Amino acid sequence: MKTVKIKKKNRILHVETSRLASFLNQGYDQIDEDGKVIKLATGGRTVSLPEHNKVIEELEALTAELETLRADGSGAELEKANEDIKALKAKVKKLEDAAKSDTTK
C-alpha cells in the first residue's frame, strides 16, 4: 500500500492513502518530503474568537480598498500602463533587430 506523510503540531505520521481523509478530518495536514503542506486539514481545529474577528476586520478593510480602487479607475490606469510597456518592448525589439541586421551587413 502507498503511504502519505501527515502532520499535526509536532507529530508526523506515515499513513495509508486510504486513511488520509479521516486524518484530514482529525486536523492533520498532508505534507511532502520537505515538510511543505500539500493538503490542509478539513476539520479538527478551532479558531479563537479574537483571531476570527481580526480576519473579518482585515477582509472588510481589503474589500473596501478594492472597491475604492475600482471606483477610482486605478485598474484601468494599470491596464493602460501595461499596454504602454508592451508597446515599448515591441519598439525596443524592433530596434535591436534592426541594429543586428545593420551590423551583419
The pLDDT tens digits of the residues spanning 49-69 come to 898 889 999 999 988 888 887
Confidence of residue 74 (pLDDT cuts 50, 70, 90): low
In a domain, 44, yes or no: no
Residue 105 has pLDDT above 60, yes or no: no
Q: Give the per-residue SS3 of 21-72.
A: HHHHHCCCEEECCCCCEEECCCCCCCCCHHHHHHHHHHHHHHHHHHHHHHHH
- Residues 9-48 pLDDT 10s: 999 999 999 999 999 999 999 999 999 999 999 888 888 8
Identify whether 17 is part of a domain. yes
* 27 and 69 together in one domain: no
Q: What pLDDT score was predicted for residue 46?
A: 81
Query: Is position 34 within any domain?
Result: yes
Q: Number of folded domains in the chain?
A: 2
- The answer to whether residues 79 and 99 belong to one domain is yes
